[in-house]
Amino acid sequence: MITIGVDGAKRGWVYSIVERDRVLEIGFMEHFRFLGFPTLVDIPIGLPKKGERECDKLARKILSKRAASVFTVPCRAAVYQESYEDALRVNRECQGKGFPVQFWHIVEKVREVDVFFRSHPDLSDQIRESHPELCFLRISSKMMESKHTREGLNQRIKALRKHLVFDVENLQKICREHKIYIHDVLDSLVLALTQQFPLETIPEDPPLDEHGLPMQIIVPARTQRSPNPG
């Protein structure tokens, strides 16, 4: 089975394509698009009209000390404001609180994917939201250090190498060519790898947003550790 992981980067999107234990391709695209195979992407899909998404609450609970890596996703009206200040004001009205400026730094990518699904609603079962930290935790049964540290990067590489064959020097070469960070490549790899495992949905019965998009996070199942043979 061929699967794809996509992670947002500074100038666009990093993607990895894998088949079983083989890394078929790692690349970069300026704009989000469907690459033809089941995809997990690290970006919010499905935006609340009011209140907080249940999947984010549950993800933070699972990640415990790494809970800060899961953003509070603001309401849809806030996402489409022109300034962070206006977005904060609107979000306080619909959620009763603000949200971190770090989320505002990725808001254009959130909008890009949201607009993409309005044009391609039939792809919501092919492109789904996930979270690399949850995926690394589930495939390794270990909480990783920050991906911005050498130890954290080494932990992620070690976890991936138990299931995928790849050369770190080649990853670094790809990073130099596309001017991307290696942690973005590793995140895209774990999202692609995740789909080789039995999966579960957080929450189990996800609600839909006002445009019919499921507000969910897809992760490897807790009780199963072996990749799918397909």
pLDDT higher than 80, residue 185 = yes
The whole-model pTM stands at 0.93
pLDDT higher than 70, residue 41 = yes
CA-wise closest residue to 206 among 219, 192, 188, 187: 219
Average pLDDT over residues 204-209: 96
Quick one: which H or E segment has residue 92? helix 84-94
Which pLDDT value is given to residue 191? Answer: 98
> Distance between terminal CA atoms of the chain?
5
Give the pLDDT confidence of 75-121 residue by residue, as tens digits.
999 999 999 999 999 999 999 999 999 999 999 999 999 999 999 99
pLDDT higher than 90, residue 229 = no
Domains and CATH numbers, the chain: 2-44+53-68+123-220 (3.30.420)
